[in-house]
Amino acid sequence: MASKHGFRKSPADLLSVGPDFVLDQVDSSASPGFSGKKRDAEQVLAERARKLGSLQEQLFAESKFGGSKSILLVLQAMDTAGKGGIVSHVVGSVDPQGVQLHAFKAPTEEEKQHDFLWRIEKQVPRAGMLGVFDRSHYEDVLIHRVHGWADEAELERRYQAINDFEAELTASGTKIIKVMLHISPDTQKERLTARLADPSKYWKYSPGDVTERGFWPQYMQAYQLAFEKTSTEIAPWHVVPADKKWYARLAVQELLVAALESLQLSWPEGDYDLAEERKRVAAS
């Protein structure tokens, strides 16, 4: 990694949320640790996509011979922050057979009859997979806090339940990477305006986006609290400046590469007699 790929320092270190983190002090237009410009970004993204794809293939291969490891990327953000772009441009570079993507919408009537983690647990990645949550269990401590759909005691219970859930998931072999894509209100306004100016983007717009936009400070406070309660050593949050889409994509790509590298993957031996199988093929 490092300099030859444009990052002077690892985004995993630079962007992770520690004890003294203050969301209000993050510059959403910055590009921390990246020494290149936008014009370099496309090339770096393509180069590192090969690395990411190769690591993911090893993860998948290991699972075919008993490996139990997986990756879970949790994406949270205000509307228009670029979750979809991360999915298409970063996750999209990986072989689809190794990707398990789930977009959580408003819960169904059945889901509402269960605790908030019920629908989440059903979507955790299988061994060998790069799982992606587009929104997640964090909605239950974000929008629920903002709109008062849960009281303080219930929210506290949920933070604890989330930490327990993530600890168990980690213990069973899943490496969790939590990402908040951080944009400014002005950036959101530009992007909403752009969606309403282009017929090929109308479908991405929802009137509810503007409604939620009216609660911006409350959302930022809810994120801050969620970070304080759930940015743990095993599953830290990362706040990724996302006014520059190209930066956010590079940074999340590096977070995934670093997570996969931390698993110390290798190509599995087969569970068959190699010499014998070579003979069988030759004779066939």
- Name the nearest CA neighbour of 12 among 252, 246, 230: 252
267 binds a copy of itself (CB under 8 A): yes
Stretch that binds a copy of itself, among 12-20, 172-180, 250-258, 262-270 (CB under 8 A): 262-270
Give the orientation angle of helix 245-262 with respect to helix 38-64, to 10 degrees: 30
Judged by CB under 8 A, which of 27, 95, 121, 151 binds a copy of itself? 95
**Do the beta carbons of residue 142 and residue 76 sit within 8 Å?**
yes
Judged by CB under 8 A, which of 44, 45, 78, 101 binds a copy of itself? 101
91 binds a copy of itself (CB under 8 A): yes
Supply the minimum distance, in Å, between the C-beta of residue 198 and a copy of itself: 9
66 binds a copy of itself (CB under 8 A): no
In our burial notation (b when 16+ CB lie closer than 10 A, e otherwise), range 126-157 reads ebbbbbbbbbbbbbbbbbbbbeeebeeeebee
**Do the beta carbons of residue 213 and residue 81 sit within 8 Å?**
no
Find the binding residues for a copy of itself in span 1-60 (CB under 8 A). Answer: none
Site track 185-214 with a copy of itself (rule: CB under 8 A), x = hit: ----x--xx--x--xx-xxxxxx--x--xx
Structure tokens at 193: 């305006």
Query: Could you give the CA distance from residue 236 to residue 249 in angstroms, rounded to a whole number?
Result: 19
Task: Name the burial class of residue 37, with classes exposed (0-12), middle (13-18) and buried (19+) by CB atoms within 10 angstroms of its CB.
Answer: exposed
64 binds a copy of itself (CB under 8 A): yes
Judged by CB under 8 A, which of 17, 87, 176, 179 binds a copy of itself? 87
Judged by CB under 8 A, which of 99, 120, 141, 180 binds a copy of itself? 99
268 binds a copy of itself (CB under 8 A): yes
